[in-house]
Amino acid sequence: MTSLHDLPLARSALLRTVLCLTACVALAGCTTPAAQRVEPTVAAPAPPSEPTVTREVVTEHSVAVVVTKHARRLELYRRGGLVGAFPVVLGARPDGPKRYEGDMRTPEGIYRVTGKRVHGRWSYFIEIDYPNDADRRAYESEAAAGRIPLFARQLPGLGGRVGIHGNDRPRDQASGRDWTKGCIAMRNEDVAVLYDLVDVGTPVVVLP
pLDDT in tens, the chain (208 residues): 444 444 444 445 544 544 444 444 343 443 334 444 434 333 444 444 456 888 999 999 999 999 999 999 999 999 999 999 999 999 999 999 999 999 999 999 999 999 999 999 999 999 999 999 999 999 999 999 998 999 888 889 888 999 999 999 999 999 999 999 999 999 999 999 999 999 999 999 999 9
Contact 112, 203 (CB under 8 A): yes
What is the value of pTM for the model shown? 0.74
> What pLDDT is stored for residue 81 in this prediction?
95
* Domains along the chain with CATH numbers: 52-207 (2.40.440.10)
State how far the Cα of 148 lies from the Cα of 155, in Å rounded to an integer: 7
